[in-house]
Amino acid sequence: MGEEETVQQNIVHSGIQSKADKSPVTVADYGSQILVSLALMMEVSGPFSLVAEEDSEELRKDGAEEILEEITDLVNETLVDDGSYSMSFSKEGILSAIDNGKSEGGPTGQHWVLDPIDGTKGFVRGDQYAIALALLDEGKVVLGVLACPNLPLSSISNPNGSSSGDRIGALFSATIGCGAEVESLDGSPPQKISVCSIDNPVNASFFESYESAHSMHDLTSSIAEKLGVQAPPVRIDSQAKYGALARGDGAIYLRFPHKGYREKIWDHAAGSIVVTEAGGIVTDAAGNNLDFSQGRFLDLDTGIIATNTQLMPSLLKAVQDAIKEKNHAASLL
């Protein structure tokens, strides 16, 4: 993950805070997707299907030559440094590697699902982000990996920093039927993880998206009030929330996007299996399991909730009651 860390540091130091002008955070998005795509091509025998966030459309437009050259140089430098390739990639080869991710996924066959940098705004701030990769087999998530370079390895006492002396950088992984694990990014022995066993909602700390655009914080507050939760929410960018939940740092994850937003499968595929294999449950607001078999988007009811088996019944009731009240209030306006 050295490429993303280097680019992130440059962004933080330079004060760039926007992706709209094709800033270096975009270089990292594209670069990460290219490197994962090339790695999969080397490891997977025969053709493979990749559903990923980025495509080359913007890079093929007039005026994108400079950013494309920067991406090409960065990828080639990275490949030379780790000895993966002896030859360099042309700009057209780079564009082609990005477009390996244009698969539509679906209910049949195997499809890799990638978010090359999940939590873009956290990345820009120097806070939490993740590289998220999952494998779909006949529409079901069967494997997931979350690399969280800024997440403390053992616990998240401070979501944007570390506990005293804690190592930074956590790699979560899960295979269906085999449980979930965490290890350091530099390869410490994997440790089995499990969600917390809290059964009293009053003691249930919860995670939500840092950005209000990604989650309706007023609805989250209403749910917490109904449950009697005392602690304020812990707001973290990216699927790092799923990893933290899976190892018991908190008890509940809530995500309620604003009306009209369609969830993408790469935002939840890897994180959801890490939580479920750690003994947790991930559903939509109606209690339905997430369906990753319908292409690049998740069609779901209102939002996403994740917790342990003990808390899910009371959480579902609080969620549904809060949504009804919100909808009723809106109808009176």
What token pair was written down for 2? Answer: 């050295």
Q: Is 67 annotated as a binding residue?
A: no
Between CA 245 and CA 263 the distance in angstroms is 20
Q: Is 55 annotated as a binding residue?
A: no
Positive or negative, the CA dihedral 271, 273, 275, 281 is positive
CA 154 vs CA 5, 195, 210: distances in Å = 20, 14, 21
Element (DSSP H or E) covering residue 67? helix 65-82
What's the chain's length in residues?
Answer: 333
Asked whether 223 and 325 are in contact (CB, 8 A), the reply is no
Q: Which of 210, 181, 224 is nearest to 123 (CA)?
A: 210
Q: Is 218 annotated as a binding residue?
A: no
Residue type, 206: F
What token pair was written down for 218? Answer: 């007023």
Q: Is 53 annotated as a binding residue?
A: yes
Q: Which of 212, 250, 215 is nearest to 232 (CA)?
A: 250
Q: Which positions are annotated as active-site residues?
A: 29, 120
Q: Is 211 annotated as a binding residue?
A: no
Annotated binding site for Mg(2+): 53, 115, 117-118, 267
